[in-house]
Amino acid sequence: MKEEIFDFDKHKGRRIKVLIDCPFGGSVKKGEIGVLKYDNVADFPSKSGYCCGGGDNFYKKFELLLEDAVKEPQFEVGKWYKYTGKHLSDGSYYAKYLKTDSDNKFHYSERVFNKVYDNITNWSASDSNPVLLTDLSEIQQYLPDGHSDLLKYLP
């Protein structure tokens, strides 16, 4: 029985799961979940722009996930979120949520990165697991004078 040829164009934007380590070389590992971008290219946490090979052997190396199998994180516009991880030199990265785009990127309007405040619009991968910052006292010392998120203390 001949295997079905995978149609990348039909599934653009869908999530896929890697079934074997490094299916086409590189750093993508078994169990990682990525998003099909264009042609035969997908973005994974360990590698953006990963080539998934031809459509004739796709199902031996990847699983197409059901559209509702992975729940999207819900973020609130204008709220601060905290990232943590070994890749951060001092372990702190905060971003004020703006939107999530069709590529599942977490866009922010401001950030505090390595103890420095920036009023910059940029994005990070939503699968970086940002957590809602419920105590803004963590970032107070980095916010500029007059910032709307500075806490006002009564004398």
* 118-139 residue pLDDT tens: 999 988 765 567 889 999 999 9
Asked if residues 19 and 53 have their Cβ atoms less than 8 Å apart, the reply is no
Q: What is the pLDDT of residue 78?
A: 95
Work out whether strand 105-113 and strand 122-125 pair parallel, antiparallel, or are unpaired.
Answer: antiparallel
Query: What are the tens digits of pLDDT across the range 9-25?
Result: 788 888 889 999 888 88
Q: What is the pLDDT of residue 13?
A: 83
- For residue 66, give both structure tokens: 């059901």
Question: How many residues are present in the chain?
Answer: 155
Q: Is there a single domain that holds both residue 57 and residue 108?
A: no
Domain count of the fold of the chain: 2
CA–CA distance, 88 with 82 (Å, rounded to integer): 12
DSSP 93: E
Tell me whether residue 4 is in a domain. Answer: no
Is the pLDDT confidence value at 2 over 70? no
Tell me whether residue 49 is in a domain. Answer: yes
Q: What is the pLDDT of residue 149?
A: 94
**Among 89-93, 102-106, 136-140, which is the least confidently predicted range?**
89-93
Model confidence at 108, pLDDT cuts 50, 70, 90, reads: very high
Average pLDDT, the chain: 82
**How big is the CA angle at 84 (ends 17 and 52), to the nearest 5 degrees?**
20
Q: Is there a single domain that holds both residue 130 and residue 97?
A: yes
**Among 51-60, 106-115, 120-129, which is the least confidently predicted range?**
120-129
CA–CA distance, 132 with 54 (Å, rounded to integer): 40
DSSP 56: T
Mean pLDDT of 103-125: 86
Is the pLDDT confidence value at 73 over 70? no
CA–CA distance, 20 with 30 (Å, rounded to integer): 5
Q: Is there a single domain that holds both residue 101 and residue 128?
A: yes
Q: Is there a single domain that holds both residue 85 and residue 33?
A: no
Tell me whether residue 73 is in a domain. Answer: no
Let me know if 10 is exposed, middle or buried by CB neighbors in 10 A (0-12, 13-18, 19+). exposed
Domain that holds residue 114: 80-142
Mean pLDDT of 59-66: 85
Q: Is there a single domain that holds both residue 52 and residue 85?
A: no
Residue reference for tokens 């004739």:
56
- For residue 57, give both structure tokens: 């052997």
